[in-house]
Structure 1
Amino acid sequence: MPALSAATQSDPLPLLRLLLAGGPSASRRARLERPDAASTHTDPLLDARLERVPTHELDRCLAWLAQPRHHLIGWNDPRYPPLLRQLPQPPPGLFVAGDPDHLWRPALAVVGSRGASAGGRDNARHFTRRFCRAGLAVVSGLAAGIDAAAHAAALECDGSTVAVLGTGPDRAYPAAHAGLLEQVAERGAVVSEHAPGTPPRSSHFPGRNRIIAGLSLGTVVVEAALRSGALITARLAAEAGREVFALPGSIHHPLARGCHRLIRDGAQLVESPEEVLAGVATLAGRLAAELAGPHRAGPSDPAPATAPADAGAHRLWRALGHDPVPMDLLAERTGLTTATLSSMLLAMELDGRIVVEHGRYARRPTGGGTAT
């Protein structure tokens, strides 16, 4: 993919103008891939919209970007999340508050009803904590109910979490979640395709749901009514080739009916986080290989037959010992990014090759077995 030029990186105005112009995302992505297209007037409608972008909106975005840990990532930026890129209609740009590296971590979406039951919130917390211990990020939409429970659980266990908004990145919805929004931005990432200051609009939330699905290896629906945004997220995940999981419930519980419909339509019925982790293992392994790239292995100490065969995983296997070590030390030993390590470690855990305790990783003493 083409990288941003130095001029574009130092001057966000062209990208901001393109994002604020609106219109079909395909034409705006094409303009980012071929900036010279503007001189040939291949899309006069887009050119006209670009001329009408209000100056005060540009100024508001520039003021937001001037603050620490605020980022603008365009379609042609190397930081653009690789899984999101695979969507049929990925957004041409993202406003990110926090650390954009969280968008590269292998992730699971945890979604469900705004009016969740106490048991549903407990399940969201339980699944989220297990996913975070396995090295995955948890993606959700900062809504009341299941979303808020998932974000809070990830923060409580020092896990990675990403909140995708249907507003601007500076607007919590509901407003009562302003504190939660601030915490996610401080310790994870807040993402929106909408400019700072954008208020909540019902038309924005299906797009928000597609980004949640697009950033994730799979979507876990904890509770949902028959008419629910969580079902839209699940449908979009399936259309993008991602896994969909649903927790069953009582036939008398209205918030179980959406999950039961998903199961009838082909979603995987799951009763434990381990079933979800096993269900995304293949896609996680493929992502790890794509992120790792053609690394060279060391000249000696070949990995044992039970270790993964690719060179990046070989390097990681050599860096692991029988004493648990944290992620940052593994990054130092291997030279691999946190996102790459997270995917590889997840695949190794699911293969039963390593154990994970409190965010530290070690080779399994028996050298094999089944992940627990």
Structure 2
Amino acid sequence: MTVAAQPALSQDEAFARIRLLRSPNIGPVSYAMLLQRFGSAPEALDALPDLGKRGGRQYRACPADRIEREVEAVRKAGAKYLFHDQPDYPVLLGRIDGAPPILTWRGDLPLASRPCVAMVGARNASAAAVKLARDFAQGLAEAGFTVVSGLARGIDGAAHEGAFPATIGVIASGIDIAYPPQHGDLQERIANEGLLLAEQPPGTEPRGSHFPSRNRIIAGLAGGTLVVEAAVKSGSLITARLAGEAGREVMAIPGSPLEARSHGCNHLIREGAVLVQAPEDVVELLSGFDGVPRSTFREAAPGFEFEPGELAAAEPAEIADLLTTAPVAVDELIRQSDAGASAVQLALLELEVAGRLERHAGGRVSLAG
């Protein structure tokens, strides 16, 4: 059994990291905190039962044989693992809150290290918007950009087709599952000529909760996100919001106020997204991107640095008493408790491992519903 990893990452550590991330109630934030707190994935796995007990429930980590089957499935799919601290992990993606600790991939991984622009939009896009997306993607690829999208029907598919081979497809399923089924050939072509990325384990069918997670990866890979055509309630606006929260450019192509599929783009522009009308506008905007976006659609959420050396006493039950099922900022919990920031974070981690805590966007938490 072989897990693809850089030389500095041992096979045992790589295997344990996959097992840690697949264990119940462990997400990107708790995964990062556990590694930082305990120094290695095997040590973190050993600590999980005690953390769960302190959080109020018995805990069992993911069985090792399940990970053995997963690793074999990744190998059979012709894919490899990419860990958060490997040199080839995309720099911009690693800077977002809750960056995926482990990805599986097929194709040309260096495409993710080139300047990237995300292109998203309506699934039921108009014929004119589909052609526009294809032309924009081709122009951006010719200018040296990698075009990132989500392999959905409509704008996503057109963006991939226009940018070939300089395109990244991010899917909400496992690396071995084609979705939507009618894009099976397109997904395979991306895996062979471009780059295909998945956060979910192989064999995972896409669920509704997977798509916002996929969208954060699309937005996180790119210096900016361009919305080509979208209704007001389009999922594309979630990607745009995530891009804005990550401090990236948010761009939109304006449309007629008489066309409902343009209302989302017009709304973005009204709220601070940059209006673009040609690929050259995107190139100009992103070529000089220095980390300070011109778009003002959203502000970045404050981050939090977990410092294990600053631990003080904080009982999970005491922190749980401050929580309800309504999300509240971690900073507010720290202000209202008598413990230090790291102690509160550790108590939240114990509650999360026990399945009693949910994390939300913007550094907010709540009791699990």
- The two structures have a TM-score, normalised by structure 2, of 0.70
**Corresponding position of 1:19:** 21
- Residue aligning to 1:266: 272
Q: Distance in 2 between matches of 1:129 and 1:230?
A: 20
Which ranges in structure 2 are unaligned for 5 or more consecutive residues?
A: 293-369
Q: Which residue of 1 aligns with 2:254?
A: 248
Give the superposition deviation at 1:27.
2.1
- CA spacing shift, 1:50–1:281, aligned 2, 3 Å: farther
* Matched length: 281
- 1:159-198 to 2 correspondences below 5 Å: 159-198=165-204
Q: Please report how far the alpha carbon of residue 69 of structure 1 lies from its aligned counterpart in structure 2 after TM superposition.
A: 4.7
1:106 to 112, 115, 118: 115
CA contact (8 A) 2:133 2:155 kept: yes
Identity %: 42
Alignment-mate amino acid for residue 17 of structure 2:
L
Separation of aligned partners in 2, 1:198 and 1:277? 36
The CA deviation at 1:10 is 7.4
Provide the residue aligned with 1:44 in structure 2.
51
Q: Is the 8 A contact 1:113 1:230 kept in 2?
A: yes
Structure 2 partner of 1:57: 66
Query: Given the alignment, which residue of 148, 159, 163 partners 1:139?
Result: 148
Aligned residue for 1:113, secondary structure, equals coil
**What secondary structure is seen at the aligned counterpart in 2 of 1:162?**
strand
CA distance in 1, matches of 2:125, 2:187: 20
What TM-score, normalized by structure 1, do the two folds share? 0.70
Inter-partner Cα distance in structure 2 for 1:111 and 1:123: 12
Pick the aligned partner of 2:92 from 78, 83, 87.
83
Aligned to 1:30: 33
Question: In the alignment, residue 25 of structure 1 is paired with which amino acid?
Answer: P
Other structure's SS at 2:288 match:
helix
1:120 and 2:129 are equivalent in the alignment: yes
* CA offsets 1:335-367 (integer angstroms, 9 cap, x no match): xxxxxxxxxxxxxxxxxxxxxxxxxxxxxxxxx
Q: Which secondary structure state, in structure 2, belongs to the residue aligned with residue 224 of structure 1?
A: coil
Residues 247, 291 of structure 2: 8 Å contact kept: no
Q: Residue 114 and residue 53 in structure 1: after superposition, are their counterparts in 2 closer, same or farther (change >3 A)?
A: same
Please tell me the residue identity of whatever aligns with 1:75.
H
What residue identity is the alignment partner of 2:162?
A: A
Structure 1 unmatched runs, 5+: 287-372
Residue 82 of structure 2 is aligned to residue 73 of structure 1: yes
Instruction: Give the whole-Å Cα distance in 2 for the aligned partners of 1:205 and 1:199.
Output: 11
Structure 2 contact 136–162 (Cα < 8 Å) conserved: no
Q: Secondary structure at the match of 2:10?
A: helix
Higher RCO structure, 1 or 2 (CA under 8 Å, sep 6+): 2
CA distance in 1, matches of 2:226, 2:100: 23
| Structure 2 contact 256–262 (Cα < 8 Å) conserved | yes
CA contact (8 A) 1:23 1:46 kept: no
Aligned to 2:163: 154
Residues 252 and 31 of structure 1: is their aligned pair in 2 closer, same or farther, counting only changes over 3 Å? Answer: same
Q: Secondary structure at the match of 1:66?
A: helix
Whether the 8 Å contact between 1:95 and 1:193 is mirrored in structure 2 is yes
CA drift at 1:101: 1.5
What does residue 214 of structure 1 align with?
220
Asked whether the 8 Å contact 1:32–1:75 carries over to 2, the reply is no
Please report how far the alpha carbon of residue 73 of structure 1 lies from its aligned counterpart in structure 2 after TM superposition.
1.2
